[in-house]
C-alpha cells in the first residue's frame, strides 16, 4: 500500500478550513525567511499557499542573508507583542552567523507553531499537552490513517534531529512502541532497521535504506527530501523497498504535504487558545 500524503493532507486541510471559518477572526501566521536558500524559499511559498487554501492570513517577512541576530530578535520581539499575530515561524536553516537556538528560544512559546521552543519540547518530552512539531505529527496522522497499531511494535527512527527524529521517537514512545533511534554513528544500521515493524527515516541521505535493510511487511515512512540530479528523492530506495513493505510513503507526495497541513492545524490551535484565553 502506498500512503498518499497529498490526499490525506487535502482531507486534513478541508477539516481545518471549516474550523477556521467558524473562528471569530481568521488566524494569522507570520513567516520569517532570512536569506535566499532556494529550498527554504520553496517551503515558505508552499506554506503561504496552504494558508490561503484554509483561510489563514499569512504575513511574510523577508530579511537579507546579511541580517544580524539582533535584527531578527527585534522582529520576533515585535511579533511576540503584537496581539494580532497567532503564530510565528522562522524558516530553518538560518545563515551561519545566527544562532538557531537563540532565535527559537526568543519566540513566544504560545506562538511557536513549529513546536521547537524548549518549553514546547519539554512539554512534549514530559508527556504534557503541547504544540508538537509538524513533521512527526504528520507521520502519526499518516500511520493513524492506515490503522497502524502501535502497541508493543518495534519502531526504528533513523535520524536524531530536533525537528524530526527526537520528537518522532517521543510520539511513538507515547503510543507504546519500543523505540530505537539510529544516527550517523550507529554501528550495524542494517541489523537495527531489519528488526523494525515501523521504520521512519529522516537522515537526509538519498536512498540510504535499501530493500535488504527492511523486514518483510514493515511499514516504512520516508521523511527525506533530497534534491539530486535524478530530481527529488527520499532517504528510501522506493522501487525496491515498496516490494517488501506492507505500507510505504512516496517522495514527493508523502510526508511533505502532511507537514504543511499540520502547520495549518498548529496555527489554528494557537489562534483558538489565544481567542479563548484573552478574547483576541
- Point out which residues bind ligand GUN (CB under 6 A): 89-92, 114, 134-135, 163
Active site residue 239: no
Which H helix or E strand runs over 106? helix 100-106
- Contacts of 83 by beta carbon, 8 Å cutoff, 6+ apart: 278, 280
> Closest approach of Cβ 171 to ligand GUN, in Å?
15
Catalytic residue from among 30, 86, 112, 114? 114
- Closer to ligand GUN by CB, 130 or 242: give it: 130
> Closest approach of Cβ 92 to ligand GUN, in Å?
4
Catalytic residue from among 30, 86, 91, 207? 91
> Closest approach of Cβ 261 to ligand GUN, in Å?
12
Task: Specify the pairing of strand 87-90 against strand 154-158.
Answer: unpaired
In terms of Cβ atoms closer than 10 Å to its own Cβ (0-12, 13-18, 19+), residue 158 is buried
Active site residue 205: no
- Residue carrying the nine cell digits 506492507: 246
Sign of the torsion formed by the C-alpha atoms of 9, 15, 18 and 20:
negative
CB 40 within 8 A of CB 91: yes
3-class DSSP assignment, residue 30? strand
- Closer to ligand GUN by CB, 72 or 89: give it: 89
3-class DSSP assignment, residue 203? coil
Catalytic residue from among 47, 153, 166, 215? 47
> Closest approach of Cβ 6 to ligand GUN, in Å?
18
The DSSP bridge partners found for residue 33 are 62
- Closer to ligand GUN by CB, 163 or 196: give it: 163
Active site residue 114: yes
CA atoms of 264 and 259, how far apart (whole Å): 9
> Closest approach of Cβ 25 to ligand GUN, in Å?
24
For residue 137, CA distances in Å to 114, 167, 211 come to 11, 9, 26
- Closer to ligand GUN by CB, 17 or 92: give it: 92
- Structure letter (DSSP) for residue 11: H
- Closer to ligand GUN by CB, 134 or 198: give it: 134
Q: Which residue is nearest to ligand GUN (CB)?
A: 92
The DSSP bridge partners found for residue 61 are 32
Catalytically annotated residues: 47, 91, 114
Amino acid at each position: 500500500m502506498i500512503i498518499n500524503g497529498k490526499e490525506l493532507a487535502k482531507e486534513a486541510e478541508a477539516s481545518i478550513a471549516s474550523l477556521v471559518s467558524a473562528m471569530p477572526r481568521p488566524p494569522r501566521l507570520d513567516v520569517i525567511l532570512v536569506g535566499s536558500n532556494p529550498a527554504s524559499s520553496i517551503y515558505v511559498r508552499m506554506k503561504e499557499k496552504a494558508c490561503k487554501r484554509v483561510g489563514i492570513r499569512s504575513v511574510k517577512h523577508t530579511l537579507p542573508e546579511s541580517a544580524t541576530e539582533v535584527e531578527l530578535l527585534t522582529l520576533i520581539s515585535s511579533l511576540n507583542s503584537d496581539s494580532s499575530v497567532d503564530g510565528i515561524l522562522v524558516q530553518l536553516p538560518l545563515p551561519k552567523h545566527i544562532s538557531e537556538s537563540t532565535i527559537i528560544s526568543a519566540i513566544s512559546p504560545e506562538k511557536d507553531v513549529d513546536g521547537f521552543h524548549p518549553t514546547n519540547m519539554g512539554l512534549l518530552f514530559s508527556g504534557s499537552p503541547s504544540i508538537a512539531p509538524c513533521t512527526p505529527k504528520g507521520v502519526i496522522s499518516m500511520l493513524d490513517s492506515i490503522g497502524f497499531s502501535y502497541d508493543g511494535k518495534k519502531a526504528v527512527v533513523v535520524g536524531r534531529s530536533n525537528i524530526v527524529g527526537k520528537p518522532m521517537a517521543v510520539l511513538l514512545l507515547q503510543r507504546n512502541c519500543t523505540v530505537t533511534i539510529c544516527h550517523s554513528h550507529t554501528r550495524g544500521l542494517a541489523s537495527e532497521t531489519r528488526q523494525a515493524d515501523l521504520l521512519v527515516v529522516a537522515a537526509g541521505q538519498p536512498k540510504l535504506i535499501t530493500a535488504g535493510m527492511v523486514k518483510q511487511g514493515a511499514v516504512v515512512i520516508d521523511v527525506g527530501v533530497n534534491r539530486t540530479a535524478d530530481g527529488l528523492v527520499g532517504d528510501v530506495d522506493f522501487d525496491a523497498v515498496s516490494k517488501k513493505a506492507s505500507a510505504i510513503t512516496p517522495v514527493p507526495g508523502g510526508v511533505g504535504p502532511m507537514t504543511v497541513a499540520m502547520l495549518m492545524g498548529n496555527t489554528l490551535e494557537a489562534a483558538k487558545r489565544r481567542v479563548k484565553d484573552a478574547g483576541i
